[in-house]
Structure formats: C-alpha cells, structure tokens
Amino acid sequence: MAGEAVLELRDVCAAYERIEVVHGVSLKVLEGSVVALLGPNGAGKSTTLKVAAGLVRATSGDVILAGRRVNGAHADDLARAGLCLVPEGRGVFPNLTVHENLRVATHTGRSISDIEQAAFGRFPRLADRRNQVAGTLSGGEQQMLALARGLATNPAVLLLDELSMGLAPLVVEDLYEKVAAIAREGVSILVVEQFARVVLGVADHAAIMVHGKVSAFGRPDELAGELQTAYLGS
C-alpha cells in the first residue's frame, strides 16, 4: 500500500512560551497509511499534531510535508495544500446548521450539492439532521460532521485529534470504521488517541508518546507491552 512518507516529523521540539512539551519527536506517515499517536493525558500528542498542522511552531527539528521542509508555513497554507486537521472538541460551528457547516467547505471550489452528496453518502445520519443546528447534535453526530467537513476539502493528509473524546464505545467503533474506509481510499491519516484499543484495529503503525517523547514505534501487534508500560507504569 504505502510508498514514500507524505508527512514526516524529524526530531521535533515544541514549546508553549518557555515550557517545552515535545522533546525530539520523530515519526513518519506513509502515503495511504494510518498512524496512531497514543499516550496518556498530557504526553504532548495534541501539541505534536498542532505542530504538523502549522498551528504551533516547532522550536527545533523538521516538519516535512510531501518531501519539503515546511517549518514556519501558515496553517491556512498547509490546509489549502491538502493537510486537514479535525481538532479535539470537534470544531463545528455550533450555531450553524449541518448544511451551513458543510457550506463552509465550499471555499475549496466544490459545490455544496457535491459536498453534501459525499458527506451524506458517508454519514447518512447527517442527512436526517441537515437543517438541525450543529450544537444540538449528539457528540457522535458532531464528530461525523467535523469529519465530513474536513473530507469536503479533499485532503491528502488527515490529522485527527481525539475522535473518541466524550463518545460512547459503540459510536467510537462506528467512527473508526469510517476512518478505516477513508484510509482505504488512499488518504494518509495521523490520529491522536488516548484510548488505544479501537484505533489500533485500524492503524498500520502506532507511536506511543510519554512525557513529550516517542517511547515506541511499530506495528500495533508489536506494541502491547509498551502500551501497558506507558499507561500503567513499569
């Protein structure tokens, strides 16, 4: 499936003001693969994702997208190029309807009917909620809407931050089935998760982060021991 790395972080450090929270993280997302970034709360996973998306600047190291070092690139330029972040907390516009939230993605030049057809095909429940205000959707539906809006931009690389946050296990499983389907279409995905079980079912590779460092990287079946150590201590 996978060839060259579409997104790569090399020895990346990142800080909020003077407090460094990511200490030399390196990982690769190969074309069409799913990479899970796992670890306990406060490990620096979301910050790493924000560095990849251009929302937080790396204080050192290299962020490489499609073979080019893109440190210092604006987040909107990266998004326009095809790097899409679905943020933690879903990031839907709560006072806009599902239709209006999807309309936001028409800036890419795609028509709203085209976007809705794709979104409702993938997430039929959103079609029933088309005129409902996004803030009144269930958590799972909001996450579907956030994913649908992200996919409407036709991304080459999708960054997902804590898809499962606040959702029931069945909803999470359903969402990760969709994520697997998106990956099969060839979109490269880097997903940050605190709860490892479901995401490891769809990931090609996983990295475990503890205290701002990647402590292990490999295929999901190779990481069971490291996961236990990361979450429960040795």
Partner 1 sequence: MSQQSERVDELHAEVARMRLRDPATSRDRALLILGAVLLVGGVIIAVYGYALSHATSDQRQQLDALIVAVIGLTVSVTGAALFLRYSIAQFLRFWLARLTYEQHAQTDRVVEAIKKQE
Return the residue of 17, 19, 41, 67 that touches partner 1, per CB under 8 A: 67
Whether 24 contacts 13, CB under 8 Å: yes
Q: Does 95 bind partner 1 (CB under 8 A)?
A: yes
Of residues 97-126, which lie at the interface with partner 1 (CB under 8 A)? none
Complex with partner 1: residue 77 or 222, whichever CB lies closer: 77
Complex with partner 1: residue 115 or 223, whichever CB lies closer: 115
Of residues 132-191, which lie at the interface with partner 1 (CB under 8 A)? 133, 135-136, 154, 156-157, 185-187
In whole angstroms, the minimum distance from the beta carbon of 164 to partner 1 comes to: 19
> Given the rule CB under 8 A, which of 59-67, 144-152, 197-205, 212-220 is the region that contacts partner 1?
59-67
> Given the rule CB under 8 A, which of 9-17, 71-79, 100-108, 119-127 is the region that contacts partner 1?
71-79
Report d(CA 156, CA 32) in Å as an integer: 9
Burial 115-147 (b: 16+ CB within 10 A, else e): bbebbbeebeebeebeeebbeebeebbbbbbbb
Q: Which two tokens stand for residue 29?
A: 């997302």
Query: Given CA atoms 205, 39, 222, 23 in this order, what sign does their dihedral have?
Result: positive
Report d(CA 8, CA 55) in Å as an integer: 16
Return the residue of 57, 107, 197, 219 that touches partner 1, per CB under 8 A: 57
Report which residue type is found at 218. G
Report d(CA 169, CA 177) in Å as an integer: 12
Report d(CA 166, CA 1) in Å as an integer: 33
Complex with partner 1: residue 95 or 229, whichever CB lies closer: 95
In whole angstroms, the minimum distance from the beta carbon of 184 to partner 1 comes to: 8
Binding site for partner 1 (CB under 8 A): 6, 31-32, 57-58, 65-73, 77, 80-83, 89, 93-95, 133, 135-136, 154, 156-157, 185-187
